[in-house]
Structure 1
């Protein structure tokens, strides 16, 4: 069957907004899911805003426990500096229970951005 809708689950990762500082996204629980990818959408960049994206992982939801994921466990088409009006995929191949997307501001003013986590290879399907 070619029904993707019933075989994936989505979770908010970063609420769409004009981002003016570093953003630690929402912790996404991977329990019951064997795969996850983040879909990051950007809008306008103001004041030459230079932002990058990365994935962090943890065994807990405590913010201080999250650490950057090794590059060997990330598949990404996001450039080092995010561009305006773009859409990127960042996939995670690690083994921790929780992941989050992080936007880091290097300089400039802001970027409009938001992201969702797409979970697949779920233990319970179809997704309600």
Structure 2
């Protein structure tokens, strides 16, 4: 069956907005989830903004956030995000919480937002 809709959950990971500084996305709880990926959408870049994106993980979701090791993350995002682009970041780690981290190297701003896509252990998804 070609039913992806009933087998995934979409959670807002970074609210779409004009980002002018580094930003941490929402803590995504992976309890009861088998896999997780993030889809990042960018829009206009102003003032030669240079922004990057990575994933962070935590056991508690409240503190202790660290960058995900390269071997536990798949990504097609370049070091400097481009305007009007879409990127994917996949998480293969084992911590309970994961979040998107937007970094700013220089410049003014970027329009960006992200969605976390998880595959719950219990399907179909309501």
TM-score normalised to structure 2 length: 0.98
User: After TM superposition, what 4+ stretches of structure 1 lie above 2 angstroms from structure 2?
Assistant: none
**Aligned residues: CA RMSD:** 0.6
Establish whether residue 88 from structure 1 lines up as the match of residue 91 from structure 2: no
Q: Unpaired segments of 5 or more residues in structure 2?
A: none
Establish whether residue 53 from structure 1 lines up as the match of residue 53 from structure 2: yes
Q: Unpaired segments of 5 or more residues in structure 1?
A: none
TM-score normalised to structure 1 length: 0.97
In structure 2, C-alpha distance between the alignment counterparts of 1:30 and 1:10, rounded to whole Å: 12
- Deviation, 1:2, is 1.2
Partner of 1:23: 23
Partner of 2:123: 125
2:6 match: secondary structure: helix
